[in-house]
Structure 1
């Protein structure tokens, strides 16, 4: 039994993709938060799996988490859905509200996130940004309705900096995950909020040649998986499926793992 249990739910963002360890596993913001919260009686589980869409997270993770009777549940999901054609915001709003209500009814505190603005580095920003803004409005409304903690990553202009992101432009790098962890700890009252980025020139989109290289290395494989009904999370299991204590903070990735 644990006195304070933290269970993290979601997709690659919460699994920690982009923050690799030397053994090939991922660390990420949730592990960093758990390392800070670790104390006698603390337990941590991470059920997140890369590539999962919202309904997958609900079907595969929510009831498993509730059965652990945690004190705190984080859920970050829906971002993969927003990248798909035919994204239905009304259905997402209803489903998200129901899931957070279910988690709160279990007695757990809930931690939610607004999404950073990926449109500053991905194609079709005129399509993507309105979806991100709409999802963030939805999450904010649900957090207020159910008394959930809200970590506002969209409002943190540091995440506009390409230096916090991996080369695939979708996943945070170690610096980005560290900043998310700092924001979470601030929301939980465990630390001061990280300082805002210093004023600087407006963030510009990557040049065309960089876009072409990115499309070849990352967009094409992503599209191929979508067309064949596969996911980057196929065959991947949760890295911490059981709520256990004695969390050992993972070692930091070596500096040369940072994308250029």
Structure 2
């Protein structure tokens, strides 16, 4: 099948952090997938990426989903909830119910819908005991939703290569360029397309860091990334404040300048 209108909605995962173009804007897995779909579909192909970093599930549904539906795409990627599971007021049953409803709305248009089981980001972050059960509950529900509505699941959690720190950026939360390429390969596989083999090539895992050096790295990471994140939570701010979608309109795909 050749998809002619692809709209991506979500948060930083879909926006493309931390996979920069030379001009400092972000590429990410969705741009990589769009580039491949554009080759297959030809000049009529259109792509929009409405994702904005830091967005919670409710914001994505209220702001991005209606805009996506107005574009009448035949392919939609919906990746949401990752930021919610990190919040103290996370309401799992409510999010799962709303997730199922949204996927049903998207599928009712006749579009193919991609949904995600996220890679195990918590393997290198604090809070595993709290967040782990939430993620497991969400992942189980995603499978049930996919079966109920005929959505396509991109199961990144089942890929142990994402435990390799080389696939993650220095903030330990967002994917590095190699991680985005691996996600793009999984997405194309879920669409029945063959990805670039190089996207699945993973650099060797780094040698274990001595204990003292590792603790020093943890302290530096906490100061540079964890403390600002906590400060934003306490002050009600988001990393996505004053950020707009990088590709808000359905237009022919053009890559950033190299």
CA drift at 1:196:
8.7
Q: Residue 68 of structure 2: SS of its match in structure 1?
A: helix
Partner of 1:216: 223
CA drift at 1:69:
0.5
Partner of 1:74: 77
After TM superposition, list the pairs within 5 Å mapping 1:1-260 onto structure 2: 4-38=4-38, 39-191=42-194, 207-245=214-252, 247-250=253-256
Unaligned runs of 5+ in 1: 253-260
Task: Determine the C-alpha separation between the residues in 2 that align with 1:62 and 1:244.
Answer: 17
CA drift at 1:207:
2.8
CA drift at 1:208:
2.2
After TM superposition, the score normalised by the length of structure 1 is 0.89
CA drift at 1:57:
0.1
Do the aligned partners of 2:48 and 2:247 also contact (CA within 8 Å) in 1? yes
- RMSD of aligned C-alpha atoms? 2.4
Change in CA separation of 1:201 and 1:172 when aligned onto 2, cut-off 3 Å = closer
Task: Determine the C-alpha separation between the residues in 2 that align with 1:199 and 1:234.
Answer: 36
Do the aligned partners of 1:161 and 1:203 also contact (CA within 8 Å) in 2? no
Question: Could you list the per-position Cα deviations for residues 50-81 of structure 1 after superposition, in whole angstroms to 9, with x for gaps in the alignment?
Answer: 00000000000001100100000001000000
Do the aligned partners of 1:118 and 1:129 also contact (CA within 8 Å) in 2? no
Task: Determine the C-alpha separation between the residues in 2 that align with 1:202 and 1:137.
Answer: 34
Change in CA separation of 1:46 and 1:201 when aligned onto 2, cut-off 3 Å = closer
Task: Determine the C-alpha separation between the residues in 1 that align with 2:111 and 2:136.
Answer: 27
CA drift at 1:199:
11
Do the aligned partners of 1:157 and 1:196 also contact (CA within 8 Å) in 2? no
Change in CA separation of 1:187 and 1:203 when aligned onto 2, cut-off 3 Å = farther
Unaligned runs of 5+ in 2: none
Do the aligned partners of 1:157 and 1:197 also contact (CA within 8 Å) in 2? no
CA drift at 1:251:
5.5
Deviates more, 1:138-147 or 1:26-35: 138-147
Task: Determine the C-alpha separation between the residues in 1 that align with 2:168 and 2:202.
Answer: 15
Query: How many pairs does the alignment contain?
Result: 250
Task: Determine the C-alpha separation between the residues in 2 that align with 1:200 and 1:16.
Answer: 23
In terms of fraction of residues, the more helix-rich structure is 2
